[in-house]
Amino acid sequence: MSEPLKIAIAGLGTVGMGLLKLLQDNSTTISQRCGREIVVTAVCSRDRTKDRGVDLGSITWYDNAARMASEADAQVIVELIGGSDGIALETCMNALQAGRNVVTANKALLAHHGMTLARAAKNSGASVHYEAAVAGGIPIIKSLREGLSANNIQRICGILNGTSNYIMTRMRNESLSFEAVLKDAQDLGYAEADPIFDVNGVDAAHKLAILASLAFGTEINFDAIHIEGIGNISLSDVEYANELGFRIKLLGIAQRTETGIEQRVHPCLIPASSIMANVEFAYNAVEVTCDFAETVIHVGPGAGAGPTASAVIADLVDIARGHTLPVFNVPGDKLAALPTVPMNEHLGKYFIRLKVTDHSGVLAQITAILSKHDVSVESVLQRAQDPGKPVPLVMVVHETREHRMNAALLEISALDSVMSEPHLIRIELH
């Protein structure tokens, strides 16, 4: 066998410990596949004294990850600290400037500083690997960079946040409110250090930014993403969606249109019979629509120690085998800056939920406004509750541009008969 590949690990949280365990448990299999051993020579974590149930005695311990990245006896620095800036960025930059390869699970860092890291890697001849940054155990980065590399990609659509998917699944299955499920999702350990990123769509957007760059050969452009989370989805939205034959999922979608690239993260109604609708709990899914391979769907666990460590080791195996690629698939100077399509140009169907007074002529007023803006109603649901009390009114409208929908809703919300802000959820049929 060749010389071992020496690695240093920055961060011994859930994923870092999962990595140590997997390297230990499957060491024979991994060494055979690499043609050499992978040896941990250094680690950095906040608490040296914590009993982690693993013997770290022979490993050099650092208190500062950025210093470890410059000094450790290692060819690879594995960054598992998290966070888009600060010590994680410093650690990766130090490693790359010292000509050491970086393996990271840090989607926030890549979404915000991916181009900076790519330039640093090019300058020193090192590489950056990030299979674990998107969709946990699903090898979606490898799939885009290698398996599907012959194709022009038209669209990526993914369930990219396990925490949100877990919440939406339990709301539907058990008729629970958002608030009732959020705490359980956090206790299960899927959530980000700042769990607000899970429910406000930012974590999914970090991942989408990476996928969009790989799929379309563009520079990462996090700021171009329209982001909405699941915080406003009520149990009644879930129930009405169910009744109409849909399920609600937080999706990240990037697609080519005639005028540019549309990138968006928001809750969507999708047909209940679709594969994506049946990806439940903390599972992730990524659907890639290609010109020759057609539509390829990847499903698997999107978070957790084992799946994420598995993805980190896939990158280490690549490095051990001497298999490296440009950071974002094509050389940095070939990445295009394609125009962004603004969200108000989005073409789609919509679900609208209103609370209205239960009087004659209310529906007529609302449909008149929709018609004035060229928005055509496909179906209406209204169930009378207590006579004289406001009632929920749910509508599905045919495909239209979002600016028409917004203009109509602005007028509708000003009607005396409309008792609360209209609630809109986009529908994705394909």
Choose, by CB under 6 A, the member of 5, 100, 159, 192 that binds ligand HSE: 192
Compute the distance between CA of residue 406 and CA of residue 10 in angstroms, rounded to an integer. Answer: 47
Residue the block writes with tokens 């090019």: 122
Task: Tell me which stretch binds ligand HSE (CB under 6 A): 159-167, 232-240, 258-266, 409-417.
Answer: 159-167
Closer residue to ligand HSE, CB minimum distance, 79 or 402:
79
Residues contacting residue 51 through CB under 8 Å, at least 6 positions apart: none
Find the binding residues for ligand HSE in span 296-355 (CB under 6 A).
Answer: 302-303
Residue closer to ligand HSE by CB (options 253, 427) is 253
Site for ligand HSE in 128-147 (CB under 6 A): 136
Return the range that interacts with ligand HSE (CB under 6 A); candidates 23-31, 91-99, 187-195, 399-407.
187-195
Residue closer to ligand HSE (CB basis): 36 or 142 = 142
In angstroms, what is the minimal distance from the CB of 192 to ligand HSE? 4
Query: For residues 15 and 23, what is the distance between their CA atoms, to the nearest angstrom?
Result: 12
Q: Which of residues 385-424 bind ligand HSE (CB under 6 A)?
A: none
Residue whose CB is less far from ligand HSE, 276 or 354: 276
Q: Does 198 sit near ligand HSE (CB under 6 A)?
A: yes
Determine if 161 is a binding residue for ligand HSE (CB under 6 A): yes
> How many angstroms separate the Cα of 354 from the Cα of each of 96, 381, 424?
53, 11, 9
We find the least distance from the C-beta atom of residue 163 to ligand HSE, in angstroms, to be: 3
Amino acid at 215: A
- Residues in the chain, how many? 430
* Closest CB 309 distance from ligand HSE, rounded Å: 12
Listed ranges 191-199, 214-222, 249-257, 369-377: which one lies at the site for ligand HSE (CB under 6 A): 191-199
To the query of whether residue 107 is one of the catalytic residues in this protein, the response is no
Check 50, 207, 249, 334 and give the catalytic one. Answer: 207
- Cβ-based neighbours of 210, under 8 Å, separated by 6 or more: 107, 110, 111, 114, 130, 133, 134, 141, 220
Q: Name 9's bridge partners.
A: 43, 78
Cβ of residue 195: shortest distance to ligand HSE, in angstroms?
8
Which of 380, 336, 343 is CA-nearest to residue 265?
A: 343
Least separation in angstroms between residue 76's CB and ligand HSE is 21
Q: Report in angstroms how near the CB of residue 307 gets to ligand HSE at its nearest.
A: 9
Q: Is 163 near ligand HSE (CB under 6 A)?
A: yes
Alpha-carbon distance 279 to 290, whole Å? 21
Residue 281 or 342 with smaller CB distance to ligand HSE? 281
Positions annotated as catalytic residues are: 207
Binding site for ligand HSE (CB under 6 A): 136, 161-163, 190-192, 198, 203, 302-303
